[in-house]
Structure 1
């Protein structure tokens, strides 16, 4: 299959909040599926194999939120402001309704969008997700943040967080990296300001607060929650907690997989997402 996402140009759109957003889109038809990226990631960090599979018969849009990659502005340090900025991007594209897929930090933002503007979100996919206020989520384990949070990103350390130590998982991670960085045109890299602001947002989101767990019970859109069984960044138990809080949420845990389960199991995950989105 042609890797459409690997050849998609970077486009820009000016939003009402004064931000110029960078984005890529592939596919056409159906309700648009909008993707929200993980910590320190830009447009290049989506696996083209996953995006192309999701884009069969559907418009898929990936974008850099405020201050990230090729988008202008300063990255905010709260998930709530990131959600408002994402809504501004969706408004700029004149999207009255969309399906939302949030990955890691993006899953936090996706939850906020569904709470701030419920009518905007038709269906919600939360990958490697946790609810706000969950005990034990106040920042990541030291070895995890040391692996993904240093000024210089070391691919081998990122692999340690995103994939397990099994030969199968490791090989899948190396192949995913190869697909991500084989394109001719790259997005602007994320800055240290983005890294600091995003980790501040992650840490604030994880301050233990049982009363905040109730917030997600107000999400009305159908929700599909997914994670890897060995994710060291957002432990699977937080995905189970989230699924228990959101009415009628579905959950699936993928085997021998860590934070990058959706890239490792891209064919299976894309199939699961498409079935969820297309369900009557």
Structure 2
């Protein structure tokens, strides 16, 4: 791999749905290998992926991160349902002529990943669901007030984001500060997400969390191998929801990372990337 995620330029591709998608890609997969597509969290754009994590994931595989419809530099208006976000993500993979992909969805992206696996199962080879919960889980209707106040205000305050993404321990907090430093030091930054994106995404998150025991059954139809992961102190998507999700999906694996919150995958980027590689490469 010649370039880091911190160095690669933003590319665009036109999809059949009329959206111009912005994306970055790194790594060179083995011949016949399956690329890994990343799905971002609430209010995040291409810059919110930690280059240290993406570079580690790209050892031996092609990794693609993109802005979904209306996010960052991608055109259009951000939809307010997870189902439409999934259809838009599928349109992006179609535009890149991906007949099969591994999917890593983080937080909101993990909801979208589940929906992709249900809408177009032939596209998805394996799925990694980070900070994830199933649709309809009781207690998931919106986030705790202090959490949405920290990440949902018009102006994003880095210190407040750190409070949600990392634990109060010195080690976790230091890891978070380093990760944020790696994310936003590049020369070519993505366009900030808009208030319309924030509102639409939180509408989608809230609707996803309306309690419904019947909706919980939907994920039992996912047949692709699934790896569920979370931090042990995630205040945004509590670990019990990740355990619930893993219990519902046939054969799913789960790992909870210590002294970690919502940003566990950045804090433990080397270990998490190794765990993902082991999961994706296992025969």
Asked if 2 retains the 8 angstrom alpha-carbon contact of 1:98 and 1:122, the reply is: yes
- 2:59 & 2:276 partners in 1: Cα distance? 12
Asked if 1 retains the 8 angstrom alpha-carbon contact of 2:3 and 2:26, the reply is: no
Count the aligned residue pairs: 280
Which residue of the partner structure matches residue 215 of structure 2?
Answer: 212
- The equivalences for 1:221-240 within 5 A come to 221-240=224-243
For the pair 1:262 / 2:265, whether they are aligned, the reply is yes
- 2:26 & 2:150 partners in 1: Cα distance? 32
Which residue of the partner structure matches residue 172 of structure 2?
Answer: 169
- The equivalences for 1:1-280 within 5 A come to 4-29=4-29, 30-280=33-283
Q: Counterpart of 2:6 in 1: which secondary structure?
A: helix
State the 1:3 CA deviation. 6.3
Asked if 1 retains the 8 angstrom alpha-carbon contact of 2:232 and 2:259, the reply is: yes
State the 1:28 CA deviation. 1.0
- 2:43 & 2:2 partners in 1: Cα distance? 27
State the 1:155 CA deviation. 0.1
Asked if 2 retains the 8 angstrom alpha-carbon contact of 1:124 and 1:223, the reply is: yes
Asked if 2 retains the 8 angstrom alpha-carbon contact of 1:3 and 1:48, the reply is: no
Asked if 2 retains the 8 angstrom alpha-carbon contact of 1:234 and 1:259, the reply is: yes
Instruction: Provide closer, same or farther for how the CA distance between residues 152 and 241 of structure 1 changes in structure 2, counting only shifts above 3 A.
Output: same
4+ aligned runs moved over 2 Å, structure 1 = none
Q: Counterpart of 1:6 in 2: which secondary structure?
A: coil
- 1:8 & 1:157 partners in 2: Cα distance? 29
Q: 1:106-126: per-residue Cα shift (whole Å, max 9, x none)?
A: 000000000000000000000
Q: 1:120-141: per-residue Cα shift (whole Å, max 9, x none)?
A: 0000000000000000000000
Give the superposed CA RMSD.
Answer: 0.9
Q: Counterpart of 2:229 in 1: which secondary structure?
A: strand
State the 1:2 CA deviation. 7.4
